Amino acid sequence: MQGLIDIFKPERTFRPQRKFTRDSKRGLLFEKAQATLGLQLCMSDMVVVPPGEDKYEWIAVHAVDFFNRISLIFGTLTDTCLSSTCPAMSHSNGSKRWDWKWQDNVRYKKPTRLPAPEYIFQLMNWVEHELNDDELFPLSSAEPWPRDFMRRIQRIFTRLHRVFVHVYYSHFRRIQEIAGEAQVNYCYKHFWFFVNAHALIPQSELEPLADLASRICRKRKDYPDNIPPGLIPSTPPKPHKSSLFGYKKS
Ligand SMILES: [Zn+2]
User: Cα of 110 to ligand 1 centre, how many Å?
Assistant: 22
Residue 185 lies in a domain: yes
- Nearest-angstrom CA–CA distance, 209 and 88: 18
Identify the CA nearest to 153 among candidates 200, 196, 193: 200
User: Cα of 113 to ligand 1 centre, how many Å?
Assistant: 14
For residue 97, the SS3 value is strand
User: What's phi and psi for 98, nearest 5 deg?
Assistant: -125, 120
User: Cα of 82 to ligand 1 centre, how many Å?
Assistant: 6
Q: Does 126 score more than 90 pLDDT?
A: yes
Q: Does 5 score more than 70 pLDDT?
A: no
**CATH number, domain with residue 142:** 1.20.140.30
Kindly indicate the confidence band of residue 10, based on its pLDDT and cuts at 50, 70 and 90: low
User: What's phi and psi for 91, nearest 5 deg?
Assistant: -140, 145
User: Cα of 117 to ligand 1 centre, how many Å?
Assistant: 6
Domain membership of residue 95 as a residue range: 4-245
Residue 250 lies in a domain: no
Dump pLDDT digits (tens) for 90-111. Answer: 999 999 999 999 999 999 999 9
Report how many domains make up the chain: 1
Do residues 181 and 239 lie in contact, with contact meaning Cβ atoms separated by under 8 Å? yes
Average pLDDT, integer, range 53-70: 94
Residue 130 lies in a domain: yes
The whole-number pLDDT of residue 45 equals 82
The whole-number pLDDT of residue 71 equals 94
- Nearest-angstrom CA–CA distance, 182 and 2: 10
Residue 188 lies in a domain: yes
> Rg of the chain over CA atoms, in angstroms?
18
User: Cα of 129 to ligand 1 centre, how many Å?
Assistant: 23
- What separation, in Å, do the N-terminal and C-terminal C-alpha atoms of the chain show? 24
The whole-number pLDDT of residue 231 equals 37
User: Cα of 4 to ligand 1 centre, how many Å?
Assistant: 20
Q: Does 205 score more than 70 pLDDT?
A: yes
Q: Is 240 annotated as a binding residue?
A: no
Stronger pLDDT, 12 or 183, i.e. the higher one: 183
Identify the CA nearest to 174 among candidates 242, 246, 238: 246
User: Cα of 19 to ligand 1 centre, how many Å?
Assistant: 27
Amino acid at 95: S
Average pLDDT, integer, range 173-180: 92
Q: Is 129 annotated as a binding residue?
A: no
ipTM confidence: 1.00
Q: Is 190 annotated as a binding residue?
A: no
Q: What is the mean pLDDT of the chain?
A: 81
Do residues 163 and 96 lie in contact, with contact meaning Cβ atoms separated by under 8 Å? no
Q: Is 86 annotated as a binding residue?
A: yes
Residue 100 lies in a domain: yes
Kindly indicate the confidence band of residue 39, based on its pLDDT and cuts at 50, 70 and 90: low
Residue 145 lies in a domain: yes
Spatial neighbors of 17 by CB under 8 A, at least 6 apart, are 10, 68, 71, 72
Q: Does 89 score more than 80 pLDDT?
A: yes
For residue 49, the SS3 value is coil
Residue 109 lies in a domain: yes
